[in-house]
A and B are shown apart, each in its own frame.
Chain A
């Protein structure tokens, strides 16, 4: 039992990320309304981005902008940069692309939802299926 407590404290954040991902996935599968499905898709995307960003965190480190680098002559004297002092910048770069792509996907998904509403006059999935089968 005594080594369960450090185990929980070291990894509790992964459990919360998995909870968020499962909330998003449940909304995408089980909800009937189209806009709720789109909200679930966005919750899923931001949970994945949270997971990746948390991989790059380091204990006691600062943000990845180099300090005392302002007035140096370019490339002449380089202060030795201590790698453990700065947070890993690589997941941040990949996730910037992911956020912008997610907003583009949101725009196209909402355009499709408006088109569906204009044709079928409803946003509920079971009513749309009934209308299509009736025809």
Chain B
């Protein structure tokens, strides 16, 4: 596998993870979590795990983000930390 691509996507994954738990808006946190899931799916496709990448793309970046947005819609969007 190409190590430059690997290193770039790994850095993006860490940045997305730190941003998803630091943003003060819960809707932004849910969308950043969807972006983090999609970056993970790319990583697994690079490593050759195609079945796992397919499942994560449909479950993590699809259905899981919709669950989060639905739950934030039903409760509150504002957070203090």
* A contacts B: CB pair < 8 Å: yes
A84 within 8 A of B: no
- Enumerate chain A residues within 8 angstroms of B72, measured Cβ to Cβ: 35
User: Which of A13, A62, A99 makes the CB contact (< 8 A) with B56?
Assistant: A99
On whether the beta carbons of A16 and B14 are closer than 8 Å, the reply is yes
User: Which of A32, A33, A92, A106 makes the CB contact (< 8 A) with B64?
Assistant: A106
How many A-B pairs have beta carbons closer than 8 Å: the answer is 121
Nearest A-chain residue to B45, judged by Cβ? A63
On whether the beta carbons of B21 and A87 are closer than 8 Å, the reply is no
User: Residues of A within 8 Å of B, CB-based: how many?
Assistant: 46
Interface mask (A64-93 → B, CB under 8 Å = 1, otherwise 0):
110000000000000000000001000110
A39 within 8 A of B: yes
User: Which of A23, A32, A33, A35 makes the CB contact (< 8 A) with B14?
Assistant: A23
Measured CB to CB, the residues of A under 8 A from B are 13, 16, 19-20, 23-24, 26-27, 31-33, 35-36, 39-40, 42-43, 46, 49-50, 53-54, 56-57, 61-65, 87, 91-92, 95-96, 99-100, 103, 106-107, 110, 113-114, 117, 122-124
Contacts beyond the supplied A31-B21, A92-B51, A114-B74: 14 A-B pairs with Cβ under 8 Å: A16-B10, A20-B13, A20-B17, A26-B21, A35-B68, A36-B26, A39-B20, A39-B21, A39-B30, A57-B1, A63-B50, A87-B49, A99-B55, A110-B67
